[in-house]
């Protein structure tokens, strides 16, 4: 099942998120098992520091004939410290991933920080403890470099990540190549209906990172007080369909026409998540899930990246 982007390329509706999975042997097992299950979409980023391991797994899969490059959809992202070095950062990711091109390249966060060397995605703080923001690089400047990647053939599609309505609107105003995707947190407890509808109205595909909420996969990282898989409504709907709460949450996302990229390192979870394509929720259940929105963000930049909070 795939969605057609605004440039005509197709993107699978479910992918595998690989954030926080650091060990090479673990990441290789995840990629290989996911391919055997049927996944073709993998969501990577320079900041995850595991692109080399992913590249090894993909190279082995391609060489063995398990999959062809044309069947794959590989995403990566430029980190904040490389906003002034977008082309070089993309080439660095391609080298590590052992690929000639990316299917999608995203601006990971809408902010430029002090450059620390291409491929070095550590988050530097200034002496005052504040994030060392580079005020000489605008998001429009960054986007011009992203557009260059398309023109020289390093990427097929470009997009944005963690942009709100206002930043997305600005990107639409100055872009020559429109963003194909906006990837941001959305799940039953943080539905963001206005942002989802705005993007879709303007032919920007929505991808949900953290589609099950941060409290599920990594509560120690995200600091979430909620685990949506324990929600009574999701459990009741799951019982109705003979499905798990995770499958219900993912299916809800898919039926919103949102791409979902859940992260897991467990084989049984990979299989379970992929089975979200095997059924369909009735409208009454979609409406019921809409009623449990808590407007609760779990993917806080202050927790994940820098030790300070910005509303991205």
CA 254, 252, 67, 73 dihedral sign is positive
Domain formed by 9-306, architecture: Alpha-Beta Barrel (3.20)
Taking each helix axis from N to C end, the angle separating 51-64 and 86-97, rounded to the nearest 10 degrees, works out to 50
What pLDDT is attached to residue 310? Answer: 39
Active site residues: 48
**38: Cα within 13 Å, side-chain hemisphere:** 12
User: Burial of 271 by CB count in 10 Å (0-12 exposed, 13-18 middle, 19+ buried)?
Assistant: middle
Contact 190, 215 (CB under 8 A): no
Lay out the sheet containing 259-260: strands in order across.
16-17, 41-43, 73-78, 102-107, 155-161, 181-185, 205-209, 259-260
What pLDDT is attached to residue 305? Answer: 45
DSSP 8-state code for residue 166 = H
The C-alpha torsion from 92 through 97 and 100 to 102, rounded to 10°, is -90
Enumerate the domain spans of the chain.
Answer: 9-306
DSSP 8-state code for residue 109 = S
Nearest Cα to 261, choosing from 23, 25, 75, 9? 75
Strands 41-43 and 259-260: unpaired
User: Can you give the pTM of this predicted structure?
Assistant: 0.92
Contact 209, 194 (CB under 8 A): no
User: Could you tell me which residues are beta bridge partners of residue 185?
Assistant: 209
Nearest Cα to 82, choosing from 73, 74, 93? 93
Q: How far apart are CA 115 and CA 113, in angstroms?
A: 6
The pair phi, psi for residue 228, each rounded to 5°, is -65, -20
DSSP 8-state code for residue 100 = S
Residues of the chain with pLDDT under 50: 217, 219-223, 302-312
């Amino acid at each position: 099942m795939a969605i057609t982007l605004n440039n005509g390329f197709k993107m699978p509706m479910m992918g595998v998120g690989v954030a926080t999975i650091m060990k090479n042997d673990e990441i290789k097992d995840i990629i290989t098992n996911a391919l055997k299950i049927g996944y073709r979409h993998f969501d990577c980023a320079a900041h995850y520091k595991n692109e080399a391991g992913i590249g090894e797994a993909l190279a082995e899969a391609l060489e063995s004939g398990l999959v062809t490059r044309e069947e794959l959809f590989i995403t990566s992202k430029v980190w904040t410290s490389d906003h002034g070095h977008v082309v070089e950062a993309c080439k660095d990711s391609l080298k590590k991933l052992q690929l000639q091109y990316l299917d999608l390249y995203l601006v990971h966060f809408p902010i430029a920080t002090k450059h620390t060397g291409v491929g070095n995605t550590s988050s530097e703080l200034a002496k005052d403890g504040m994030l060392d923001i580079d005020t000489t690089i605008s998001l429009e400047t960054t986007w011009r470099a992203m557009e260059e990647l398309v023109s020289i053939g390093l990427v097929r599609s470009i997009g944005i990540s963690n942009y709100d309505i206002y930043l997305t609107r600005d990107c639409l105003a100055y872009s020559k190549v429109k963003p194909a995707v906006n990837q941001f947190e959305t799940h039953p407890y943080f539905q963001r209906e206005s942002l989802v509808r705005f993007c879709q109205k303007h032919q920007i595909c929505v991808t949900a990172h953290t589609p099950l909420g941060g409290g599920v996969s990594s509560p120690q990282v995200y600091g979430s007080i909620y685990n949506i898989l324990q929600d009574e409504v999701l459990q009741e709907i799951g019982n109705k369909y003979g499905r798990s709460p995770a499958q219900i949450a993912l299916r809800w996302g898919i039926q919103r026409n949102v791409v979902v990229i859940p992260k897991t390192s467990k084989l049984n979870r990979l299989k379970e998540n992929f089975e979200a394509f095997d059924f369909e929720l009735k409208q009454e259940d979609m409406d019921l899930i809409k009623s449990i929105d808590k407007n609760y963000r779990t993917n806080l930049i202050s927790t994940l990246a820098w030790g300070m909070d910005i509303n991205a």
